[in-house]
A and B are shown apart, each in its own frame.
Chain A
Amino acid sequence: MKVLMLGWEFPPHISGGLGTACFGLTQGLAHTGTEVVFVVPRTYGDEDAAHVQIVGCNQVTGPTMPESTRVEEGAASVDTPGPTGVESTSSPHDPPEDPQPLTESWMDPGVTSPRVLAVSSSLQPYQTAESYREWVASLEDSDAPAEARLPSTPATRRAFTAVEQVLAPFGWSEGAVRFVRQTLGGPDRFELSGSYGPSLMAEVARFATAVGELAQRIDFDVIHAHDWMTFPAGLAVARLLGKPLVIHVHASEYDRSGEDVNWEIRDLEEMGIRQADRIVCVSHYTANILKHRYGADPTRLRVVHNAVTHREQREHYHLEKAIEEPIVLFLGRVTFQKGPEYFLEAAARVIQIEPGVKFVMSGSGDMLPRMVERAALLGIARHVHFTGFLRGRDVERMYAMADLYVMPSVSEPFGISPLEAMALDCPVIVSRQSGVSEILTNALKVDFWDVEDLANKILALLRYPALTQQLTEEGRNEIRRVRWDASAQRVVGVYRELVS
C-alpha cells in the first residue's frame, strides 16, 4: 500500500498536536509495511528554491511522550522547538545551501517510510485568516518573500484546473483562484497590496495546486489528508488522478472556535467531509460533531483514536514538590474551549471544605485576564496560582508536582495532555466532552458543566488515597497500551476498504 499523505507539519518542525499525531501515525504505518510520502507546506527564504524539497527521509526523529514540548494544540508551550532530530532542510531565516532537486532517489524502496516532502508554501499550522494577514504583513518589512512561484508546466496547469473545479462552489474561491492564476509562472513577485489581498484561503488553493503537480510524479494508491488546510489539495488530486481520498479530522472548527466559527474554514471542512471517500476522526465525540454539524455520512465515518509515542527512559521528579499543600492543576491554553472557568468554580467549592488546597492554572490565552478576575471575585485568589506559559521540562515538572490534573474541556476532539500527566503518575479528571475520555478507564470523568461533580471528585482524590493509588498504578499500565501501531492498523483497514 502506497499513501500520499498531506499534513500541516512534521517533526522536527512542529508547533502543535497535529504534527505529533502525524508522526506517530506514520511510524505505526511503517510497521505495517505501508509506504507513505508525507507532504507538508514549508516556507523557504529563497524564492528560487525548488518548490518541492526532500526532507530527511528516514532521518527524522519524532517527539516522544511525555517529553513532547507540546501539551495541547497551541497550549502552554507553543512555538518551542521540537526535540532535536536530524533535519536536512532549512528554516525560514536560514536559506537552504543547495536545494535538492526532486529525483527518483526518494522512491528507493530501502528508505524507511515516510518520505517527507516539503512543498514551498507560506501556510503555517494553526493559522487563522487574521494571523495569516499579520504574518504576511510582517514579511513585507523584511526581505523574505511571501510566496514561491509555481513553474508553469502542463502538469501545473492540469493541477490548477482541478483546484479551480474543486473550489468553484465556494464564494471565497474566486479571489483565491485568481490569485493562484497570477502566481502561476508569473515573472514577478506577488504584490501584497493586490486587489484581492493576501489571504489564507488563496494560499490554501496555491498549496493545493503545488500538491496536484507533485502528485502527478508519484506512484500511490490512496490520498490521506489531515485537517482542513489540506482538504482542497486532497480533493484536487482525487479529481485529477481518480484516486480514493481519506480525510482525517483531528479538530473541527467548532472545537477550535465554539459557535463563533470562521465560515470559510467551516465550509472547507464540510466540502472535505461530504466529498471524501472515507472520513477518519480521532474520537466518537468528533464523529458525532461531524454527523450533526456537517452532515457526515455515517457509513463513511471511521473512528481511529490517537495514541502516544513512548519514551523508554524517563526522568524522575520525585523531589520536585517543595510545598506541602495538595496541588490541583489546570494546564493548557486558557481559552473557552479548555473550560478554565469550570476549574475555578470547582476550586471555590473545594476550598470551602479543604482550605489548604492550592489550585494552579498554567498556560496563557485570551481568557487569562478574566480568570484572574474571576478567582478574585470568587474570593479564592489566595488559593489560585497562575504560572503563565510553561515550556518543555517545566511542563513535566508541573505534572510531577501536581496531586491531580484536571482537563475540564468544553470540546476536545482528543486531548493528549491527560496521557502525559498519567505518564508522570499524576491522576487525572477529564471531561466527558473529550475524545481521550473514550479510551481511558483509569481516569475520573465529569461533564464539564457539572462543577459540583468535579469538586466532589477532586475532594475524593484528595481524601481517599486508595483512589489515587488505583488510578496511578493502573493508569501507568493503561497508557502503555495506547500505541500508534494499533491506530495505524485501523487506518490500514480503512485504506483496504478503498483499495483492493
Chain B
Amino acid sequence: MRLALAIGTFFILVIHGVVFYNQFGHQWERNQHTYFDQARVFAKTDAERAALNGRKPRIEQIVVSNFGETRVDRCTTCHIATDDPRFGSYAEPVKTHPYSPALGDQQKNGKWERRHKFSEFGCTVCHDGQGRGLEPEYSHGKDEYWPDPLLGYATQENWRKDFAPKLKGKEYMQANCAQCHTDTAFPGTALVTKGRGLFFSSNCYGCHRIEGLSDGTIGPDLSDVGKKWKLDYLWGRIADPKSILATSIMPKFNLKEEDIKALVIFLKSRKGRNFAETEIQRFKVKLTGGAELVQATIKPVQINPAEMLKQGEKLVLDRACTACHKLGDRDGGIAPDLSYEGLEKDGPWIYEHFKNPKSTMPDSIMPAFRFTDDEFKAMTAYLLTLKGSPAPAQGDAIYKALCLRCHGEKGDGQGPIAEHLDPFPRDLTKSGFMNSKPEARLVASIRNGVAGTSMPAWGKVLSEEQAKAVLGHIQTTFTKEPRRELKAREIPAKNPVAMSQESVSRGETLFVNRCAGCHGKKADGKGPNSLDILPKPRNLRNTFFVNSVDDRRLLESILYGVQGTAMPSWINDGLTNNDAGDLVNFIRSINSKPKGGQNAGAVQ
C-alpha cells in the first residue's frame, strides 16, 4: 500500500514536470529570439542594438475592429518580421510579407508602403486561420474543427487526399478579397467573377438560391455557403456530388478542373453579408431581387435566324441541359430522354415548358431558367429536330430503349430517374391495374401519352403494332397474369348532373368528407394518408391530366375504384351516380381556369 502510494505520488510529480516543461518552452519565444539575434546583426547604430537587447519575447497582437466582429490576430507573435523589409529572403516564419503592386503597395523614395496596413487589416481578414492561436497547428487552422484554415495555404488532415493538393494556391484568397472588392471588374477577384459567370452559365442558379443573385428552390440555399463549409467540401460537392451525400440529386456537371476551382472560390466568397455591404444595401438587393447583378453576369446570345438551329444546339449542350436530361450519349440521369423530343412534343409545348416548366407539367421539378425569349426559341427549334433513331420491332427491345428509364428494369416503376418524376411512373407489375383496363386504353396511353405527366406520346415513334408488341412484352414479363374478360360496368356515358354552382358545392362537401384524406384538402394529391400510398393519389389540380380524361373515366374511377391502387370503389360505400356527378363537377370546376398558354402565340 505504502509503496503504491509512493509510486503514485511520484507519478503526479512527473506529470507536473511535463506540464511545466510544455508550458514554458514556447516555439514562438524561440522564433522571436531568432528575429532579435538577426536584427542585432542588421542593426546599424548602438541605440538600435540596445533597444533590441531590451526586448523580451512577448505575445504580439493586432485588434481588428473594422471588419465584422472584432478579431484578435496574434499571428505577428511568430511572424514578427512581416513588416521588417530586411527579412525578405528569410524562411518563414521570420520573413517579410511580400510587397506587390497587385496588393496596392507603392514604392516611395525606394521604400515600400503598404496599401493594406497590418495594423488596420490584421492577418486573418485576408488569410483566414485562427488569429488567437499561438501554436502553428491551431493558428493555421489545421485542426479539423477550425472552420477557416489558412486560405490556399493550409489543408486539414481529414480532407480528401485526392482533393487536398488542388485546394492550395494563393488564388483561393480571392474569396476573401471579394469580401470588400465587390466590383465584378476588379482584376484581383477575377476567379470570383469567373465563378459567378459559371454559376449562371452552368445553370446552378436554377436550383440554388443566393441572396441577391438567384432564387432556385430545389437545392440548398448558398447565400452563406462560404461560412458553412470548407474548401474540401465545396470542391467535393461540385466535382462528385454523390460521393459526399449518397442521396444528393445534384447532377454531376461536365466541368473542367479550373472551372471547379473558380466555382469553389466564388462559393467560398458567399458569406451572407460581406464587409462592403451595409444593412441598407442588402435590403435594397432584397427589394429589387438583384436584377442588375444578374444582368451584368449573363450575356445573352444574339440569335441569328439563319443559324438558329446551330445556336440552339450549342445552347442546349453548353448550358448543362444534359446535366439532367439524356441526349445522345450524354446522360445526367435525372430527367427524361430528349432524343425523341421532336416526335413527342410540339413547338408551343416545348417553348411553354422552357418559359415555365410547371405551366405544362404541374408537378415538374425542372427549374425555370433565365434565357432570353430568342434563346428559348432557338433551343426549341433545335429540340424539334431531334427524332432519335427508329424504334426496334421487338417488344423487349422497345421496352429497353424507350420505357426502362422511367418504368425500370423490373417494370415496377422504379426506373433510374423515377424518383424525380411526379406523378410517379406506373408500376407495371400490378396486375390489378393492368388487367382492369381495356387493352385499347393501355395502347392509347402509350401512343398518345398521359397529359400533364412525364409519359410522352410515342405515337410518332411507335406504330400501333409496335405499341402492342411492347404491351405484350410488359404483360408477359412484368404483369404475368393473363388478361381476363372484363366485367361490364354500369357507368353513365355522360355526367348525370349538370354543371351548376350548387352541384359544385355539394361535390366539394363530399370531397372534403370522403376524398381529402388521400387527395388532400386542396385536391393536390397530398392528403395526410398520401405518404403511405403508392402509387400516389392523383393530383386533381393537374389541369392537363383532368382535362384529358372524359367524364366517363372519372365516374368509373370514383364509382368502381382503380384496381391496383389505393383508390377504393365508392359504389359499395353509398355513393350514388349523382354524388359521383357532383364530385366530377367539383373536380372540373377547380380546373376550369385557363392555365398557361399565354406564350403559345409566340411560337410559329
- Chains A and B come from one and the same complex: no
Question: Which A residues fall within an 8 A CB radius of B?
Answer: none
